[in-house]
Amino acid sequence: MNEKTLDAPSGMISDDSEYFAAEREQQVERFVKTNPGFYRNQFAKIGSDSKFVWTSNTWAGVLGPIWFCSRGIWNWGLAFLILETMAAVQIVRGLFGDLASKAWERIANIEGTLELRRQQLASAIENNTDKIDVYRRTVQSLEDEIGGIRLEAEQLEGTGMTIAAVGFVALFAIKAGQAVIANTLLEKRFSDWLSDPGISSGMTPRHIALSFALSCSFVVLIMVATVTHYSFPGLYPWLIQFPTEHGIRLTSIGWVEDFFAFCVTNGEVFFDAITYGIRSVLDALELIFVETPWMVIASFIILLTWLSAGPRAAVYSGAFLLYMGLLGFWEKAMTTLALLGTAACLSIVIGIPLGMYCARRERFYAFIRPIMDFMQTMPAFVFMIPVIAFFGTGKPAAVVTTMIFGGTPVVRLTVLGLRGVPEHVREAAISFGGSKWYLLTRVDLPLASPSIRAGINQTIMLSLAMVVVASLIGAKGLGEDVLEALQYANVGQGILAGFAILFCAMILDRIVQGERK
C-alpha cells in the first residue's frame, strides 16, 4: 500500500511528461509539415540551451533565400539574397568581366592628346621655336603616364581569378551561414506560432510561389543588371542613365511655382497676421533680454537655474554667462535667446494642447503624424524656400523655420506621456467621481509631466540647433558670427561663437530638465 502511494506521484509525473512531449511533437509536425522528425530533434536541441546552438540545415544552405522565404522568414531571405547577389557579382567579374576597361579608355584618351603634342613637337623642331623643350617634356610626361596606366591595367587583368576566388569563398560562407542559422530562426518562428496561431506555418504553396517569384524577379531585374554593369561596364549605358523626361520636370516646376504664387497672392492677410503675432512676441522678448540691464538678466538666469537644478548648475550658468560677457557675445546671445524663446514658446503653446487632443484621438493623430514626419525629415534649406516666399526674410521667417524644425517633439512626447498613464489609475479617479477636468489636471498631466518636460527640452534644443541656419535668412544673434566665420574662414571667431551657443543650450537644458539636488 505504501509502495503504491509512493509510486503514484512519479507515475503521474511520467505520464504528464510523456503527454507534453507527445503534444509538442504534434505541434512541431503541424508547424513544419515536412520532415518533422528532423525539426523535432533540432528544436529540442535549441530549446535545451539558452545560448546559441550550432545546428545545420542542408536544404536551407542549398536553396538559400528560397528556403527562408518559403518558411515565411522574409527579412532574412531578402538579406541573404542581397549577399548572394554581391558574391555572384564578384564571381562573374573575376571570370568574365573586363576589369581594365576604364584603364584602357584612359589610355586611349591620353594617346589622342599625346599624338597632338607629338605633332606640335615636330612642328616646333621644324621651325626651331623656343617651345621645343616644353613640348618634349609634355610628350615625355604623357608617355610616362600611359606606361603607368598600362601597367595598372595589366595588373587588374591578372586579378580576375583572385576576385572570382573571393566571390566563391564569400558565396560558400553565405551558404554555410544560412545552413547554420536556419534552424534557430525557424525555432523562434515556431515559438511565435505557439503564442499566435495566426502566423503561417509550413511551406505553404503561397509562400513557395511568392519566394520563387521574388527570387526569379530579383535574379532577372537585380542580379543580371548588377552583374552586367559591374562585369561589363559601358556595355549598356541605359543601366546607369535613368530615362529622364525633362518636360515632366519643367511642368512640375511650373505647377509648384503657380501654387505658391496663388498662395502668396490670396493669403497675404493671413501671412501678415502671423507675422504680426510673431513680431509682437519677439519684440517683447527682445525688450526683456536685450534692453534690460545685463546684471538683472544674469541674476534672473542664475536664480532660475538655482531653483530648477541646484547650486552647482547655478555656478556653471554664472560661468557661462561670464564667458559670453567677457568675449563680447552678450547682446548677440540675448538676441538668440529672444529668437529661440519666441519659437519655443509658440511651439509649446501650440504643441502641448495639440498633443493632448491627439492622445485620445487615434485617427486624428494618424492624420498629422505624416505631417510631423515631413517637418522633421525635410532638410531645413528646403522648407526655408516657401517660408521666404510667404514671410520674406528676417526674424519672423527665422522663427517660422525654427518652429517647423523643432516643434514636433513636444507633440509626440505629450501624446506618448498621456498614453502612458496607467488605465487603472484613470479608472480609479473616475470611480471616485472625478470630472474630465479633474482627470486631466490631477491625473493625466501630473503623471505625463516627465515625458512632456522631455518634449519641451527637445523642442528647445532643436530650436537652438537652427540658430546658424536661421542667420542665413536675416536672423541676428550668435549664428551670425558663426556664418561670418564660415564665409571668411575665421576659425577663432567661429569656435568661440560655437561655444557660446553650446553654453546657451546647456543653461536652457538645466533650467527645463534639471532636478534640484
Which of 37-51, 207-221, 366-380 has the least mean pLDDT? 207-221
Query: Across residues 75-92, what is the average pLDDT?
Result: 83
**pTM beyond 0.95:** no
Instruction: Classify residue 200 as left (phi > 0), alpha (psi -120 to 50) or beta.
Output: beta
Which residues contact residue 358 at a Cβ distance below 8 angstroms, ignoring those fewer than 6 apart? 364, 365, 368, 411, 414, 415
Asked, for residue 335, whether it belongs to a domain, the answer is yes
> Is the domain of 141 the same as that of 120?
yes
The total number of structural domains in the chain stands at 3
Ranges of beta strands (E only) in 35-183 are none
| C-alpha grid cell, residue 242 | 535613368
Please say if the pLDDT value at position 344 is more than 90: no
For 413-416, which contacts have Cβ atoms below 8 Å and span 24 or more sequence positions?
413/355, 413/451, 413/452, 413/454, 413/455, 413/458, 414/351, 414/352, 414/354, 414/355, 414/356, 414/358, 414/359, 414/448, 414/451, 414/452, 414/455, 415/355, 415/358, 415/359, 415/365, 416/451
Give the residue among 187, 205, 169 at the shortest CA–CA distance from 60: 187
Report CA-CA distances (Å) from 85 to 62, 68, 174, 218, 335: 15, 16, 11, 9, 56
Provide the pLDDT for residue 173: 93
Q: What is the largest CA-CA distance in the chain?
A: 130
> Is the domain of 212 the same as that of 298?
no
Phi (first) and psi of residue 137, to 5 degrees: -65, -35
Could you say which of 202, 222, 239 is where a domain stops?
Answer: 239
Asked, for residue 35, whether it belongs to a domain, the answer is yes
pLDDT digit string, tens, across residues 304-342: 888 888 888 888 889 988 998 888 888 888 888 888 888
* Residue 15: pLDDT band with limits 50, 70, 90: low
Residue type, 174: I
> Is the domain of 105 the same as that of 92?
no
> Is the domain of 79 the same as that of 206?
yes
Which residues contact residue 335 at a Cβ distance below 8 angstroms, ignoring those fewer than 6 apart? 286, 289, 290, 476, 477
Provide the pLDDT for residue 116: 83
Which residues contact residue 117 at a Cβ distance below 8 angstroms, ignoring those fewer than 6 apart? 135, 138, 139, 142
Instruction: Give the integer Cα–Cα distance in Å for 73 and 260.
Output: 47
Could you say which of 222, 239, 256 is where a domain stops?
Answer: 239
> Is the domain of 194 the same as that of 284?
no
Asked, for residue 270, whether it belongs to a domain, the answer is yes
Domain range for 31 is 2-97+162-239
Residue type, 177: G
Asked, for residue 11, whether it belongs to a domain, the answer is yes
27-44 residues labelled b (16+ CB within 10 A) or e (exposed): bbbebbeeebeebbebbe
Please say if the pLDDT value at position 155 is more than 80: no
Asked, for residue 258, whether it belongs to a domain, the answer is no
pLDDT digit string, tens, across residues 230-277: 666 666 777 677 777 778 888 888 888 888 888 888 888 888 888 888
State the Cα angle at 513 between 511 and 517, rounded to 5°.
80
Report CA-CA distances (Å) from 134 to 109, 112, 123, 129, 144: 21, 18, 13, 10, 15
pLDDT digit string, tens, across residues 471-510: 877 777 788 888 888 778 788 888 888 888 888 888 877 8
> Is the domain of 405 the same as that of 496?
yes
> Is the domain of 123 the same as that of 91?
no
Q: Are 225 and 233 in contact (CB under 8 A)?
A: no
> Is the domain of 326 the same as that of 367?
yes
Residue tagged 531571405 (cell numbers) = 77
Higher-confidence residue of 14 and 177: namely 177
Provide the pLDDT for residue 19: 64
> Is the domain of 69 the same as that of 167?
yes
Please say if the pLDDT value at position 5 is more than 50: no
> Is the domain of 175 the same as that of 227?
yes
Using a pLDDT cut of 90, give the percent of the chain over it: 4
114-136 residues labelled b (16+ CB within 10 A) or e (exposed): beebbebbeebeeeeeeeeeebe
Provide the pLDDT for residue 227: 66
CATH number of residue 324's parent domain: 1.10.3720.10
Provide the pLDDT for residue 488: 80
> Is the domain of 364 the same as that of 471?
yes
Q: At what angle do helices 160-195 and 74-96 cross, to 10 degrees?
A: 170
Q: Are 193 and 201 in contact (CB under 8 A)?
A: yes
